[in-house]
Structure 1
Amino acid sequence: MAGLALGSLALAGPATTAGTTHHAAAPTAKSRAFSPGGLFEPAPGTHPSAVDGRVINYSNNWSGYAVTGSTFTTATASWVQNAITCTSGDGETDMSPWVGIDGFSSSTVEQTGSSGDCDGSTPDYYAWYEMYPANVIIINKTVKPGDEFTGTVTHTSGTKYTLVLKDLTQGWTNSVTKSLSADDSSAEAVMEMAANNLTKFGTDPFTSFTVDGKAVGSYTGSPYTIEQMEIENGSTLCDSTSSLANNENFTTTWLNAC
């Protein structure tokens, strides 16, 4: 398991096995029944479809964009931690925007992001990073709805990755360097459903999603594939992902409780 970063608190629960992304978490200073992070899960019975040079994938847990087809060193994106609507009786619900490398078709993810969870009718906002399959590390900093974030994940050398998350609204930065043997086979900006249901969040804008210094939408033609993702549960589409604007901006939009 990745060690504690200065000023961070580890979730001590066991990591899940590959292909199962919803983590159980042991009690911490604030007990959470689940935590973000993990691998892309294709929705059962669905098949990717090609549209305008993109491949649309339906997933149990990821919406947003990824690029595949080569190896990638750096992923950067900005987003807003949206306000969430929590209603008593909704059960475990969550929305977690993040940026990272790997996880679309590999067994690791190197990622950092923020989350809005519902504990009954009470919203819970926080920031985190993860070197999956090690457990999520909660960043001991204030997060509020509407906060603007920029995250960068970089494979610096060998097995070392540097993960930087900046809360531009609160004025803090968390930077850690961790080691993991990984493939670097995808880079992504994702709005994740980490719990059993997707928290109602309205729209969530992502901007300036670049990979190795280039707008993600510029990765056209062989060997690259731009993967567009939306969360689906059976026949219900949980959220939608917009087309890319200026090759690097998109919005995920809540549609249905899933």
Structure 2
Amino acid sequence: MRVVYELPGGGRILAFSRPPAHFDPTTAEDRLLLAYGYPRRPLRESALLAEWTDAVGRLGTYVEPRFGPRPRLGGSAPGPRPRSVTAGPETSDNWSGVVVHAPAGKTFKWVRGSWTMPKATWTGPNAANEISSWVGIDGDGSGDVLQAGVDTSILIDGDLTLVKHYAWIEWFPLSAKPVVESLPVEPGHQVDVLICGSGNRAEIFFSNLTLGIYTSFPIYAPDSTTLLGNSAEWIVERPSENGIRQQLPEYGTVIFDKALAGFTDETTVDAATGNTIAMLDDAGAVVSKGSILGPQRVRCRHSLHLPRPPHFPRPSSRDEAGVESAERGATPGAVDGW
């Protein structure tokens, strides 16, 4: 392996060897899985074997990881948030979605999610709007978070509208959120993310299922940064600029499928056991809301598409029936790995 990106503060990202043509991870030896950057195969009798087979079967064609600095259209990197309650629905000024907290004596080791990148629409009045959708470990009540996802930044500059779409990773509190330049993304693309990590080392498996490509890489944080494994989450977020939350653009609905996480003892938990999170705007009104649709299915919905009392006017640009129809048609997305 070789270093392909240096993170400020001492972290680094490496690259695995490229797998040979026609390499089949489902039948390969464990040593080859590790050499070519695949998640470690669970024990044959493990219930995780079916999940592992599904995950590696979705990876597609390997592209070597290449990273670059994040576009600066107004926002800054996501990060952790204060934990508001220990059980039940939560509220936040930057997160919406679902979080599962590790029970006493357990530590999260991996998290997975699959979702379609939403189409974001500038809503004003701020010049800059931004939305991040991601899965991660830690961050709800801890000072660290390891996350990977996709982002849309919108900036109005006079008569110009500047829009950027990109895949990214972050291991907060490292002061960087590098863009995964070798994995292009656009609204409507389906992505799948698997993060496996413990201590100060992790592996990330990032797929664009629509394009049929994926990349994988190990990431090392400095010794001063380590995963606690206290929470796993599936999130739509509005990032910040100089401590001020960005305005969330209208994004419709994001549905995370394959919303599953695992502990160091090889047991698993799905998102349905977690707490929902509603995002509040600066005036304290709900702007984005997380809900649970099934054992491994999480929905995040912009407030323009939340149910309203009969006397409250519904949005004219997109009716609720259309949103529901789109949701029903939506489709999913050396550490020990699984």
Question: Contact (CA 8 Å) 2:81, 2:139: kept in 1 or not?
Answer: yes
The residue number in structure 2 matching 1:236 is 285
What is the distance in 1 between the residues matched to 2:235 and 2:77?
A: 11
Give the gaps of 5 or more residues in structure 2. Answer: 1-7, 15-64, 241-245, 263-267, 305-338
1:151 equivalent to 2:206? Answer no
* Matched length: 221
| Deviation of the 1:41 alpha carbon | 4.3
The residue number in structure 2 matching 1:216 is 271
Identical residues among aligned pairs (%): 22
Q: Deviations over 1:116-166 (max 9, x none)?
A: 1111133321100011111101110321111101111111x5421111211
Q: TM-score, normalised by structure 2?
A: 0.61
Q: Deviations over 1:184-234 (max 9, x none)?
A: 1111111111141111101111111001144222x4xxxxxx221110023
Match of 1:211, as an amino acid? A
What is the distance in 1 between the residues matched to 2:124 and 2:230?
A: 40
Q: TM-score, normalised by structure 1?
A: 0.78
Give the gaps of 5 or more residues in structure 1. Answer: 12-29, 220-225
1:62 equivalent to 2:121? Answer no
1:133 equivalent to 2:188? Answer no
The residue number in structure 1 matching 2:202 is 161
Q: Deviations over 1:14-34 (max 9, x none)?
A: xxxxxxxxxxxxxxxx44322
| Deviation of the 1:56 alpha carbon | 0.8
1:3 equivalent to 2:48? Answer no
Secondary structure of residue in 2 paired with 1:182: coil
Q: Normalized per residue, which structure has more strand?
A: 1
Match of 2:117, as an amino acid? Q
Secondary structure of residue in 2 paired with 1:66: strand
The residue number in structure 2 matching 1:247 is 295
Which is higher, the Rg of structure 1 or of structure 2? 2
Matches within 5 A, 1:94-133: 94-120=130-156, 121-133=161-173
Q: Deviations over 1:33-69 (max 9, x none)?
A: 2234211246xxxx64x9xxx6111101111111113
> CA separation of 1:172/1:35 partners in 2, compared to 1, >3 Å: closer, same or farther?
farther
